[in-house]
Chains A and B, each alone.
Chain A
Amino acid sequence: MDTATLTEKVAAKTVPIYIMGKKYEVPDALTIMKAMEYAGYQYIRGCGCRGGVCGACATVYRKAGDYKIYTGLACQTVVEPDMYLTQIPFYPANRAVYDYETAEPTPETVYKLYPELFRCVACNACTKVCPMDVEVLDYISALKRGDLKAAAEISFDCIQCGLCASRCMGEMAQYHIAQLARRLQGGKLAPKAQHLDKMCGDIEGGAFTGMLGDLKSMSVDELKKVYTAREMEPHMGADEWTPASSHGLA
């Protein structure tokens, strides 16, 4: 087979890990997720994208003789010897229902929907536990200051796994609050893209109906000719670039 195949090349070396307290010997090169599958678990919960962006596989672990709590994503973290682990695929969290259309993009909107924001004691457990290295406390603090933009930016890499909520002394679900902040920022505070309205108007006005009708009725050979002749925007050029011919434009 001329492909880089899926074959799991199981390393000769194995290490002991403890899944919910039970010992299994697993190949040392596997991620926690693959190690649990190797051990015989078939995931229903606790497994999602397997690529570190969906937040389904938040994992908490300790190491032998170490008081610290470690966290990671099961699909991204490689096993270590004597790791004691469990996944927390679900952690209950309070999410406020709100009418997005009428929501004012102000700090007060956030405060009204999530008054628990002010229960934050700045212990920083949220930031320490975040597997994405998001500065959770920083965005909570930004919200307390009323800075939605900063909160949206700082929280941008959040995958909503819920680990922060599991550790919060103020019992809030930080990631839901951050989601609200990002929507208010992206949809209501950030300047709108004016060029979208213009293009949507041109389309609704039928500016391209005829041109597209022509393309649709072309034979494949004709279409190939038009395709090959189309002018290419230079790769490193500026946004303001305009094609030599206005053919095909509104």
Chain B
Amino acid sequence: MAYTPELKELIKVVEKTRPERVARKRAGEEIPFLSLDERKERLRFHPDFKEEGRRPLQVGPSKGYAIAHEIADLLEASSRVDPDRVDLSSPAHETDVLIIGGGGAGTSAAILAAQRGANVILATKLRHGDANTMMAEGGIQAASKGHKDSPYYHYLDVMGGGHFTNVPELVETLVTEAPDAIRWLEHQGVNFTKKADGTLETIHGGGTSRKRMHYAADITGAEIMRTIRDEARNHADRITVLEFSPAVELVLNEHGACAGAVLYNMETEEYFLVKAKAVVMATGGCGRLHIQGFMTTNHYGATADGIVLGYRAGVPVAFLHTVQYHPTGIVFPEQAEGILITEKFRGAGANLVNVEGNQFVNEREPRDVEAASIIKECVHDGKGVPTPTGRLGIWLDSPMIEELAGEGTVKREFPGKYILYKRFDIDISKEPMLIYPTLHYQNGGLEFKPSGETCVPGLFLAGEVAGGIHGANRLMGNSLLDIIVFGRIAGTSAAEYIAAGVKDGELTLDHVRAYNAEVATSGVGAGRVAPAIIPDYTDPSVRERQLTANYVGNVR
């Protein structure tokens, strides 16, 4: 789906203003950053600030807290399985640490727990490594260059990005553990982009005061994921991976500690029990819930399952009223809708340009400010670029990078995106990309501590499922960092918790029974079950013809 003749005409407008914009970039002239007050004003255009987009929860530990309808629908829902029908007396597996989720956080946790002598079962919904980690492109932050940067500045940037609402202790852990996380990844064999002497290349990201974004071309997350997955596979004696086996319920014991989970074999449709001395929840985010109808960059399995399970077990949610829309998702060609275009393009000098060929925002504002600016420009100021199917987008002027850094730079620095567009007959070193904000990240999640602990003994968290680190808005490059830092911590904490002695006890799903009863009495959530496990993209007319199947949500 190459650009239509109409879009090619509009590209000429971009080309016309390009020389002047390139000259300004060369001279270091940027659109000034918004002041904190101006940011606040701009954020009125952000989807988070639409009151009709959310509602107060009617059940559970965070009752009264208003979050997106799409997540509330899953929290105000009954369990997929009837707790009375689950046999808790005969676990299919017993282990020390059960890790739920096979992305970067879960895998880091598995490696560290195994290193401390624990036997680990890593249960994952799809394949090991099928996670948003794999899709992260731009980079991973860490203050690694002491001549100009430090955890002090990293801390400030994280807090500013999160609008000063972040949990300070979590941020402190994130920024002080960051350089060691990079060192660990380098040691594991991640091919970071480096100078000849080994110095890591670093660039800016939105909201950074120092260039501290480390990267591996434009597939940083994939390079990290495949490397640590390879390491986990080297410890097959201690780490057992159960694929296509999502958790549908946490299991507690009579002492109130987390003691395993009910898993679901997606292929045989059987449910089975894993008993564990500790559980690490690393289930990721919620993009596939398509909050407010937005397209998403997220993985097929990103359906907020962990939030549902943890919430039912008694862990409150925090910062879940904010979700992140990545400013630059593909809006044309439609086949690639929602796919992330890394912030690194802007870091490398590409302007955001409206239908008149003009810049309208500094390209390195924090993500929510950037996204709100694009929505404002398109929807409220009428300066969006119309696509053939009636959507609106903004140009991301990638050919500028060629002029600034030399011919061939786009193909070399962004091989993934270059190939992707090539498939659609678009050469992004010569033609700009058409983008619009896309649902990207769950800023909040279940409450936890810097040690990975939750209010439920034996239940640890890591990664996107947890809330508080990023406050109300995460900066680029702090998510890959978060999963490695807190994944390693959760694995270590779980192993230490076990080493200190865990009291065995009778297993129970009473918390699920109680939650189901609360859902029933509150009158909300009738006919809804959760977790969702996978999104339902079946054509509704097909569903109508499936006469012998009954669906509750997407559960057959």
Contact = CB atoms under 8 A, between A and B. Distances in A.
Interface of A: 1-7, 9, 29-31, 34, 37-45, 47-54, 56, 76-78, 95, 97-100, 132-133, 152, 156-157, 159-160, 179-180, 182-188, 190-200, 202-203, 207-208, 211-212, 215-216, 220, 223-224, 226-228, 230-236, 239-243, 248-250
A198 B335 CA distance: 47
B192 A250 contact: no
B145 A195 contact: yes
Contacts of A200: 179-180, 183
Given A160-B226, A208-B176, A212-B176, A230 B153 contact: yes
A30 B335 contact: yes
Given A193-B194, A203-B176, A224-B164, A185 B189 contact: yes
Contact of A249 (B148, B209, B375, B539): B148
Contact of B182 (A196, A226, A236, A239): A196
Given A223-B164, A233-B210, A250 B146 contact: yes
A54 B28 contact: no
Contacts of A195: 144-146, 199-200
Contacts of B149: 249
A65 to B, nearest CB: 24
B179 A132 contact: no
Nearest to A204: B180
Interface in B116-135: 126-127, 129-130, 134-135
Contacts of B393: 4
A196 B339 contact: no
Given A6-B294, A53-B219, A183-B188, A212 B135 contact: no
A193 to B, nearest CB: 5
Interface stretch (B55-63, B154-162, B473-481, B498-506): B154-162
**Which of A56, A95, A227 is the most central at the interface, judged by chain B CB atoms within 10 Å of its CB?**
A227
Interface of B: 1, 25-26, 28, 30, 35-36, 47, 126-127, 129-130, 134-135, 143-153, 155-157, 159-160, 164, 168-169, 172, 175-176, 179-180, 182-183, 186-192, 194, 196-202, 204, 209-211, 217, 219, 222-223, 226-227, 230-231, 233-234, 236, 244, 266-267, 290, 292-295, 297, 299-300, 331, 334-337, 339-340, 349, 364, 375, 379-380, 389-393, 415-416, 419-420, 423, 436-437, 534, 536-539, 542, 554
7 contacts: A6-B337, A43-B300, A156-B191, A184-B189, A190-B194, A233-B209, A239-B211
